[in-house]
Every structure is written in structure tokens, then in C-alpha cells.
């Protein structure tokens, strides 16, 4: 089995476009995480009104990772764990955010829809699928909490900027050319669905004899 390889964040567009569907990767460098609908809506509101965000999202890796953050006794920000959340909750906001900031990587679990994939194709961005319930692996990658912003929100909705080493494993599940593992699965199921129904009906009819 392919053990994957390490990529540095922030990614360049050229590097993002070289990633292939199904590649297994680990991330080094700076990422930004948040996991709340209100957070993504606020990002769009800030950008549309010309207000500066507390972190620079241009060309960033913006990941849908749940975390719990707090202040240590010395007043330093601390993140206790990371875990992926379901990205489809953010489908309505992600195309705008991807285009506004020309994001290079987004990710979480469960994928994004084809409108998001089209935005990713335009800008040179990939979707990374992280292991559900993989918190021990993901959390061990944290090397530094650079900043925690929007502290008026609950901890997992805040904008958190981290330096990580070996964050993963993650699978390139939507590439920067519009290819999506999730869409491939959906189309495959649609193609097979009539055959599945026919088989079930045949089995039901046989059982009544």
C-alpha cells in the first residue's frame, strides 16, 4: 500500500494541481481550521464588506477540523485535539470562499458538492479527506498554536491558525481538475440502482413462491 508523501503548506497553485485523485498525503506547515456555519458566513461577510480578517486566507489551507482550544496558565493559546467534521454542511459557503481567497486546500470528511469542485478547478484547490475518528493521529501533529481569533464564538467555531507536522493521513478526494471520488461513487450507484431494484424484486417474488 502507498504510504503517501508529505506536502508543505501553504501550497502553491502548481503544487496543488499536481496532486492526483487518490493520493495519500501528510501536511507540514501552516493551516487554518474552523468548524462552524457561522464562521464561514462571517468570513464571507467580512470579505464582502471589505473588512480585514484576523488571518490571511489567501492561498491558504482552510480545513474543517473540530478542536477544543483554551488558554494555559501562562496565557498562551492551546489546542487539545483535532478531529474532522462533515464538510457537506458548508457546501453553500465554500464556493464563494474558495474563489474569494483562491484557497489551495480544503478538507474534512464527507466531501463537498460539484459546485465546490468547480470552484476548486477554477482556482487550483484540492479537497483532502481525513480519517473520521482519527483524532489521536491528527492531534499529535500539532507543533504550535500561532493564533486563535473570534473568541466570541464557541471554541470549535473560532479561527485557529496552527503549525503542524505530519498532519494526516489525508486522501485527495477532489482534485484541482474537477474530479471527485464522491461524484464517481454517486454516478456508479445511479448506474447500478435499476439492477439493484430488479434483483430485490426478483428475490421478493421468489420468496413468495
64 in Cβ contact with 88 (< 8 Å): no
Collapsed DSSP state (helix, strand, coil) of residue 75 = coil
80 in Cβ contact with 67 (< 8 Å): yes
pTM above threshold 0.95: no
pLDDT (tens, 9 = 90+) of the chain, 209 residues, equals 457 889 999 999 999 999 999 999 999 999 999 999 999 999 999 999 999 999 999 999 999 999 999 998 888 899 999 999 999 999 999 999 999 999 999 999 999 999 999 999 999 999 999 988 789 989 999 999 999 999 999 999 999 999 999 999 999 999 999 999 987 666 544 455 455 454 556 555 555 55
Cβ contacts of 44-48, under 8 Å, gap ≥ 24: 44/93, 44/96, 44/97, 44/100, 47/97, 47/100, 47/101
CA atoms within 13 A on the CB side of 61: 28
Amino acid at each position: 500500500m502507498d504510504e503517501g508523501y508529505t506536502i508543505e503548506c501553504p501550497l502553491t497553485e502548481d503544487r496543488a494541481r499536481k496532486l492526483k485523485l487518490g493520493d495519500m498525503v501528510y501536511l507540514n506547515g501552516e493551516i487554518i481550521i474552523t468548524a462552524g456555519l457561522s464562521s464561514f458566513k462571517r468570513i464571507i461577510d467580512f470579505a464582502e464588506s471589505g473588512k480585514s480578517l484576523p488571518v490571511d486566507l489567501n492561498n491558504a489551507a482552510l480545513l474543517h477540523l473540530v478542536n477544543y482550544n483554551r488558554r494555559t496558565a501562562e496565557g498562551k493559546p492551546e489546542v487539545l485535539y483535532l478531529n474532522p467534521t462533515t464538510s457537506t454542511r458548508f457546501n453553500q459557503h465554500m464556493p464563494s470562499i474558495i474563489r474569494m481567497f483562491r484557497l489551495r486546500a480544503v478538507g474534512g470528511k464527507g466531501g463537498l458538492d460539484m459546485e465546490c469542485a468547480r470552484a476548486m478547478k477554477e482556482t487550483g484547490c484540492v479537497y483532502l479527506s481525513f480519517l473520521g475518528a482519527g483524532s489521536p493521529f491528527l492531534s499529535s501533529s500539532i507543533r504550535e498554536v500561532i493564533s486563535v481569533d473570534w473568541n466570541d464564538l464557541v471554541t470549535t467555531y473560532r479561527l485557529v491558525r496552527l503549525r503542524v507536522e505530519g498532519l494526516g493521513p489525508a486522501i485527495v478526494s477532489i482534485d484541482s481538475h474537477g474530479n471527485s471520488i464522491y461524484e464517481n461513487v454517486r454516478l456508479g450507484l445511479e448506474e447500478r440502482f435499476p439492477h439493484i431494484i430488479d434483483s430485490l424484486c426478483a428475490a421478493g417474488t421468489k420468496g413468495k413462491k
